[in-house]
Every structure is written in C-alpha cells, then in structure tokens.
Amino acid sequence: MRSLTIAVCAAVLLTATTAYAAGDAARGKSAFLSQCSGCHTVVANTSDGMGPNLFGVVGRKAGARSSYNYSTAMKSSGITWTPDKLKTFIMHPNETVSGSNMMFMGVSVSGQADDIVAYLGTLK
C-alpha cells in the first residue's frame, strides 16, 4: 500500500510540474495581446500584420507563410516552431535567428514566455 501511495504522489507531482512548465494559455493570451498583437494577428484565414499571422504557428516551419515577406535569415533558419523553440525565440529573438526582421527585444520572464507559447498552441 505504501508503494502505491508513493507512486500516486509521484505521478501527481510529475503532472503538476508538466502543466506548470507548459504555461497557462489564459495568461498567455493576455500577454500576447499586450506585447505581440501590435505586429501579429492570430485569426485563421486573415492577412498578416507587420509580422506574420501566428495562427497555427506551433509545428509550422519558420518562414513558411507564403503571404508574408520573411527575412532571408528566417526563411533559411531550418527551424520548426516546437514549443521549446518558440519559447527560446520569444525570449531571445535576435540570438535565435540573427538577421530576423523582428523588432522586439524579447520577453524577459520565462514563465510569461511559457504562457504565450501555451496560448499559441491553442490556435489550431
């Protein structure tokens, strides 16, 4: 019985840690609206803004929207936007893709970047 209790507690802790690491989509939407929506849209089947439309960005290849004029650096980066790669880019865009057109210094708080990625992950 003690082994079962330990196993259940471990599973609960692992699940809680994973959920926290994945971020909170509701907080991410708020952060996106305040920091990203000036340049990016997130509505399906709409045009790009100053930056590319980010609807469906999770899992997409960098520079893949034919309607947006990406920098050569972005088009040739070879990146697929996984949650981890998006988080890295959101926090350090110029280091992640040197020569990108993105004029944003990055989100400095790791948890907020996780939240934004969680929100972007809901847009499918």
- pTM of the predicted structure, to 2 decimals: 0.81
Q: Using 50, 70 and 90 to split pLDDT, how confident is the model at 22?
A: confident
* CA triple 35-37-41, angle to 5 deg: 150
Instruction: Write down the CATH number for the domain with range 24-121.
Output: 1.10.760.10
User: How many other CB atoms are there within 10 angstroms of residue 63's CB atom?
Assistant: 21
Q: What does the pLDDT read at residue 121?
A: 97
Phi, psi values for residue 5, rounded to 5°:
-60, -45
Q: Which residues of 89-120 are buried (b: 16+ CB within 10 A; e: fewer)?
A: bbbebeebbeebbbebebbeeeebbbbbbbbb
Average pLDDT, the chain: 87
Which residue ranges make up each domain of the chain? 24-121
* Percent above pLDDT 90 for the chain: 81
Q: Mind listing the pLDDT tens digit for each residue in 50-108?
A: 999 999 999 999 999 999 999 999 999 999 999 999 999 999 999 999 999 999 999 99
